[in-house]
Each structure stands twice: as structure tokens, then as C-alpha cells.
Structure 1
């Protein structure tokens, strides 16, 4: 179709699109879903912060396990149940550290998902986080979540 930047390449057939999006959901989770599962105490879920020590000290998801990416092959077998589903995160969407961490866990035989948005979007959505000095929480950024604090139900 001429004149359309979007349709220069036609959209995939519905069956191909469904397979693609299902596959993406098998590899990714968003911060709201991770928070909901942590709050509900979903068993068998381990959230791993793959950042360096200074970043961990600055802020982290409550209940997360700290394993810097480079140390996953060494530390994960002793710290993470092989039957668990691991959710990795790093700083945010401009960083591929969570992707690298997910790859390291997958290579060790773990089921793994990457948390989209990373710590940045955890904080921007107004969720509480731990620091070495206590608990922190920022106001909800209305570009990432409803200001009311209710779920976007997406």
C-alpha cells in the first residue's frame, strides 16, 4: 500500500501473529505482573536483580535475589532451585543486562523470563523498593501507570 509507513510491510497473518505474541509472553513479564505475583506469594518464582553491588544498594525489588550477571553460572546452582521460574531484571529498557542474565539462567537449564522495564519502571510505577538505607517509593509517573494507583487492566 503506498503512502503508509506502517503498511509498507504488510501485517502478519493472524495465525503467525498469534504465535509471535504467545512466544513473546513466554519470554517476558511486566513489572505489574511481577509485583502482583510477589504480593500473592506465588510459589516457585524467583526474582533476580542482575546489576552490580552499587546499583543493588541504590534500590531493588523487595524479595529479589542479587546475582550479578557475571556470577550467575557460579552462584545460581547453590542459590536458585532448578524447579523455579526465574524473572531477571536490570536497570531499565535501555539496558540489556536482564536479557544477558536470562540467557545465563537458560544456559544453566532454568525456566526464565525477563522483566520488561527493569528497576526503572518498577520505581516509575510507584512500587516500593528497598535500599541499603531503608524503603523508598516514588510517586506514580502518569506516563507509565494510572496516577490513581489502580491497575491499567491491560
Structure 2
């Protein structure tokens, strides 16, 4: 948007008024509404870096205060999963959750990645059963892409961090 400044509040030119700014076509929410939305989002989501940090701080044998649930198939689990995660495919949640989970312990679900809503479906199923639950953003894909160790049917593995998703310097903080 082109603005004319005269020391007073900016005004738009006729040319800029005919072409809407795609970012501001729908104006941002009021600050109080934005704070409520983003606060709620953080209540429902955790990112892989935070999950990894909490798990690392609890090791060895410590309790991070939550349980991580891999909601994928056995074949997917065998391909790679978060160390210490519990394997509970979404379809089996109604039958197995009460046997495997303590209702007092929060749950963090994950599936393949951002293109998969399996972790969301699992989180819904668990919340309907009375569990407090968060979804791990990025799923297993971003766990591996950020360079965190994972387990497979053959043993442990780790990939180099993808420089588009995480700092490549060991133990560097992304700053967010």
C-alpha cells in the first residue's frame, strides 16, 4: 500500500485503494482477541523442540509430567518413533486408553507430520474420554528433521538437522 506522509496520519492513494493488500484484506484481530486465540493455541499444541527439551530434562528415568503417544500404525511405528513414546494407534484409543494411560497425566499426541491430522483425531478421542491432551506440531516428520534421536525396529537413529527447520549447530537454541 502506498502512503503519502505529511507529518500527519498516512493516507492511501487512489491507486493503492483499488488494489487490496492481501495480508490486510482481513484486518488483524484486536489485541485482546489475538491474545485469547494465541493463548488457547498454546494450550492445545506443543512443538517438537519443547517436547524434546522436556524429555531430555527428565532423562534418565525421570518423569517429564506428560506421556507422548504415537498414534500411527505398527508399520509406521517400526519405521521410527520418539524415544519413550507409547504406541497407541488412534483406532485403538477407545479400547486401550483406560488400560494404558493415567487420567491425571497430560498426553501429547503425534502422527506423521503437518500434512496428517491423525494426531488431531487422537487428541479428540482422548479428550472425549476425559484426558488432558496437546498435539505435537510437526509430528514425527519434524522430530526427525530437527535432528532429534528416534527409535526404529532396528535400533536408534538420528539425522542431521534440516537447516530449514532447526539450527545446525549442536545444542543451539532457535530463539523462539
Please indicate, yes or no, whether the TM-score normalized by the shorter chain is above 0.5: yes
Distance in 2 of aligned mates of 1:73 and 1:66: 14
Structure 1 unaligned blocks of 5 or more: none
Contact 1:125 1:140 in 2 (8 A): yes
- Deviation sequence 1:48-67 (CA, Å, 0-9, x none): 00000000000000000000
Cα deviation for residue 73 of structure 1 reads 1.0
Distance in 2 of aligned mates of 1:75 and 1:43: 22
Distance in 2 of aligned mates of 1:49 and 1:152: 25
Q: Which residue does the alignment assign to 2:71?
A: 50
RMSD, aligned α-carbons: 1.0
Q: Which residue does the alignment assign to 1:23?
A: 40
Runs of 4+, deviation exceeding 4 Å: none
Query: Is 1:77 matched with 2:98?
Result: yes
Count of residue pairs the alignment pairs up: 154
Distance in 2 of aligned mates of 1:120 and 1:151: 19
Distance in 1 of aligned mates of 2:64 and 2:105: 8
Q: Which residue does the alignment assign to 1:134?
A: 155
**What TM-score comes out, normalization by structure 1 length?**
0.97
Structure 2 unaligned blocks of 5 or more: 2-16
Q: Which residue does the alignment assign to 1:65?
A: 86
Query: Is 1:151 matched with 2:167?
Result: no
- Deviation sequence 1:69-113 (CA, Å, 0-9, x none): 000111110111100100000000000000000001101100000
1:92 to 113, 127, 132: 113
Q: Which residue does the alignment assign to 2:137?
A: 116
Note the 1:30-45 alignment, pairs <5 A: 30-41=47-58, 42-45=63-66
Higher gyration radius (CA): 2
Cα deviation for residue 44 of structure 1 reads 2.8
